[in-house]
Amino acid sequence: MLILYTSSAEYASMTAKARTAKKTGSKKQGSSLTSREQKRNIGYKLLSQGLTKAAVALALDVSWVTANRWTKQLEAKEAKQRDRKRSGRPKKLTGSQRSTLKRILKKGAVRYGYPTELWTLKRVAEVIRKEFGVKYNTTHVWRVLRSLGFSAQIPLLKAIERDEKAIREWIANVWSQIVETAQKEGAVIFFYDESCVQSQPNVRRTWGICGKRPEIRVKQGCRDKLSIVSAVSADGELFFSVHGHDLTGEDTVVFLRKLIRELAGRKVLVVWDGAGIHRSKRVKRFLEKNGAKVSARRFPAYAPELNPDESVWGLAKYDDLPNWCPKDKREMRQVISREMRNLKSQKMRVASAMRHAEIPLPPL
């Protein structure tokens, strides 16, 4: 029995320490020994007190081979309290070189001399070879990038024509003025946008048998198309209309009239982009005539990420209707109208999606 070699209290204390060290997987508080080193030293003590290898292996949850190795080390007086430090293979890039590489990557690929801003593993490997004379395969370049805090991501496409300074000024100054105007006039701010849906599906990933690529049958000839108008408030209230033709200024006026009626006397402040139909004479005349009921402000050019309604379209197209293949225009209208009505009833979901826009909105 175990108690022939050591007291049950001492044995329980030793095994408890070993199990605690195994669970934490870290250094014991107040000790410089690792959990591995602590367990081995407890094993030495138990073996030197006469416990069998099998009993030690069971108590410390190690293999009999490990307990046997500890026994041989004790017999040869080679018991070691600490592990021998393993230096491992030295890194090809020094700490300062890695910091330099990180600075180069953060400045962008175009600034380094590449024609686009895409950092690929091949390009990064070329930078490392040119700058530091070190050759890495692309697999190890991936590890280097991960260790520097980089990850593979889908880039956000932005127009070259963008005026970044004007966009920052709009967010800092113009947007706050729009909010103040709405509060002063008792108006409800609606973010307005147009989109379209085609019979060609928004293809997303799907599961299939290994080695056999899945197929989705789609209409390739004259594709059907529906145009959709929507307006959404900061609290997720959504209004929409579906059209079977390209949108015109008259469609915009009709939608604004319906929006005014829905608000039951409250003024509407629409924020939209600078699309041609928003600047048409028909729309301008309507806004001038109905200035007491509706007014409009523009987002800066080429900045769709500012419009919260863009995130709502993302829900409709890419979350609710991926891989959808309509048979004809009639089915398209039925399904789109149904999905937009469902989305209209999910105010909290819509409001949450809107918070991905790059303008400050009130918290939910």
Whether residue 262 is found in the same domain as residue 194: yes
Report yes or no: 301 and 162 within 8 Å, Cβ to Cβ: yes
d(CA 141, CA 136): 6
172: number of Cβ within 10 Å: 9
Say whether both 31 and 111 belong to one domain: no
- CA neighbor of 22 nearest in space, from 10, 38, 8: 38
Tell me: do 63 and 140 sit in the same domain.
no
Residue 262 φ then ψ, to 5°:
-65, -35
Which residue range(s) make up the domain with 282?
165-201+221-354
pLDDT of residue 126: 95
Do 118 and 181 sit in the same domain of this protein?
no
Residues 245 and 124 in one domain: no
Decide if 336 contacts 242 (C-beta within 8 A): yes
Distance, CA of 140 to CA of 146 (rounded, Å): 10
- CB count within 10 Å of CB 92 equals 14
Instruction: Report, as ranges of residue numbers, the positions in the chain whose pLDDT lies below 70.
Output: 1-31, 86-88, 201-207, 216, 218-222
Q: Is residue 20 one of the residues assigned to a domain? A: yes
Regarding whether 183 and 329 lie in a shared domain, the answer is yes
Which residues fall within 8 angstroms of residue 212, CB to CB, at 6 or more apart? none
Please report whether residue 87 resides in a domain: no
- Looking at the fold, whether 50 and 186 belong to one and the same domain comes out as no
**235 part of a folded domain:** yes
Per-residue three-class SS string for 124-148: HHHHHHHHHCCCCCHHHHHHHHHHC
Predicted pLDDT at 103: 94
Residues 169 and 289 both lie in one domain: yes
Distance CA 162, CA 304 (A): 11
Residue 271 domain-assigned?
A: yes
What is the pTM for the complete model shown?
A: 0.63
The pLDDT value given to residue 320 = 76
- For residue 287, give the CATH number of its domain: 3.30.420.10
Residues 12 and 101 in one domain: no
Q: Is the dihedral of CA 67, 69, 73, 79 positive or negative?
A: negative
Position 8 in a domain: yes
> By the 8 A CB rule, do 193 and 307 touch?
yes
Same domain, 140 and 48: no
The total number of structural domains in the chain stands at: 3
312-328: pLDDT as tens digits: 888 877 777 777 777 77
One domain, residues 272 and 313: yes
